[in-house]
A and B are shown apart, each in its own frame.
Chain A
């Protein structure tokens, strides 16, 4: 799949922002006043920034509001609803915390649940697609949630929880890569099933339907950059998990914490780039490509 920068920015930033808001919602001693304002501002900047980045890849962004109508079947529509609900509830919760130092705990809990639901709906946009076997698995949702929770814990300064969750998310990421590599083969889709010609013999793409490029090849059969995938996986894991955990083991300092956060964000962005660049869409089989 084509790793569109807007989609990578969207899933990376909104996941982290919503993860931070989740922890702020659950925190029994949530920050108030200016400190609270800073935390919520970071959470909102990431969540809203990510969500608005997602509109950049639309062909007709001016009609984006229509995406709220089909929540009964569409995960994209459900994501839109959950995001608005989460940001509204957390907004009210933050407003009272920041300006009146009043914590309405149930509102925070509700907002926290909605934040996680939003991350889950985002993950389901990908996990629902049977056409991309690497994504079509429950572990895709687990991975998105784990990364949001770990990143959120890191951003909100929960050292111990962050370390544990970072290790869990990193382990899940490694396992997701490992198992994902054979999911296309296990899906049963092949050039033989795609063409229905397998009963005769082995199928080879002889001549493509078009000599030039097209939307399908650009969007679904992106194979550029895959050759470095093993190196990129190690870089991503090092940045998202190993480096932050090591920095958290040091005596606490704001500079180290900032470096840990930046490393984690960069690591997740690299992993998200691979998430798209490595994903094989079954339509590639018609072109004899993966």
Chain B
């Protein structure tokens, strides 16, 4: 049914730490690897080795340059590079679910995961249009909508060792930038992370109430007052050129 549940028993989702992500795309690869051979249709590629390759991915990593505003303390702040993984946010008010004409899209009452029942999907694409985050991609080979399942076939999978019962992207992240847990429990690790680090919603003005949260990058460390004892030895020996170069400099100035 495409009616959203009034509430869900749990709110499973991800915390993505923009301060920690190094932009290695390992989560993209592990997501594609797991999900192409498990739940639902494979994630197909079109023309993968040709001139115009494209394919279905459930998780993609953008990179942004952010230019901080100049302050009196920092008249010329350096731009920051922020890597930005993006997948389904499993929104509480998921617009992708209600627009679905067939009931293929649904939000689970037991854990809040948004899923697509692929045997009901007609591939109209309206859910992808309704999603502000670009979290849904229509698989060109299968003609059905694909999206992040929060690795529903891992997190409850008793055939896997316990440490593997989390989404593939979280399991693989070498930087520890992705965390999986239950947001309905205020004491859970993810809830505490969000509370401590000011976890934020993407595009809150869209009113989707995303479950996944993003931790903003922390201010960069400065060097004031903590210079290494060896630093004075690394100071430039001569600010002004001397000897032959000094003569050349002066001569060229006079020309």
Contact = CB atoms under 8 A, between A and B. Distances in A.
B154 to A, nearest CB: 23
B29 to A, nearest CB: 12
Contact of A203 (B52, B66, B204, B214): B66
A123 to B, nearest CB: 14
Interface stretch (B117-125, B155-163, B177-185, B246-254): B117-125
29 contacts: A58-B124, A59-B122, A59-B125, A59-B142, A59-B143, A66-B102, A66-B120, A67-B122, A69-B101, A77-B101, A125-B126, A130-B130, A131-B95, A131-B130, A132-B129, A195-B62, A196-B200, A196-B214, A197-B82, A200-B217, A204-B65, A204-B66, A205-B63, A206-B63, A213-B54, A215-B138, A216-B134, A219-B138, A286-B86
A194 B202 contact: yes
Interface of B: 1-3, 18, 28, 52-57, 60-69, 77, 80-82, 84, 86, 95, 97-104, 120-126, 128-134, 137-140, 142-145, 200-207, 214, 216-217
A119 interface: no
A210 interface: yes
Given A129-B130, A194-B203, 7 more contacts: A67-B102, A68-B101, A131-B129, A131-B130, A205-B62, A283-B134, A286-B133
B66 A201 contact: yes
Interface string A23-61: 000000000000000000000000000000000011111
Contacts of A210: 54, 57, 60
Lowest 5 A-B CB distances belong to which pairs?
A59-B123, A59-B143, A209-B60, A283-B134, A66-B102
Contacts of B95: 129-131
A213 to B, nearest CB: 5
A206 B138 contact: no
Contacts of B103: 66, 69-70
A209 B61 contact: yes
B122 A60 contact: yes
Nearest to A214: B54
Contacts of B67: 201-202, 204
A188 interface: yes
A72 interface: yes
B217 A215 contact: no
A74 B124 CA distance: 12
Contacts of A281: 129
Contacts of A57: 124-125
Contacts, number: 198
A76 B126 contact: yes
Given A131-B95, A214-B137, A220 B129 contact: yes
A201 B132 contact: no
B50 to A, nearest CB: 10
A200 B68 contact: yes
Nearest to B28: A209
A80 B139 CA distance: 24
Contacts of A73: 2-3, 97-100
A54 to B, nearest CB: 9
B10 to A, nearest CB: 23
Given A220-B129, A283-B131, A61 B122 contact: yes
A281 B129 CA distance: 8
Contact of A58 (B80, B84, B122, B217): B122
Nearest to A205: B64
Contacts of A287: 62
Contacts of B54: 210, 212-215
B216 A131 contact: no
A155 interface: no
A67 B132 contact: no
A281 B132 CA distance: 8
Nearest to B68: A201
A228 interface: no
A18 B62 CA distance: 45
A208 B83 CA distance: 10
Given A189-B203, A282-B206, A201 B138 contact: no
Contacts of B18: 197
A203 B64 contact: yes
A287 B60 CA distance: 11
Contacts of A193: 202-205
Interface in A157-204: 187-189, 191, 193-197, 199-204
Interface string A107-135: 00000000000000000010011111000
B101 A59 contact: no
Given A66-B120, A199-B216, A215-B54, A76 B3 contact: no
A215 B128 contact: yes
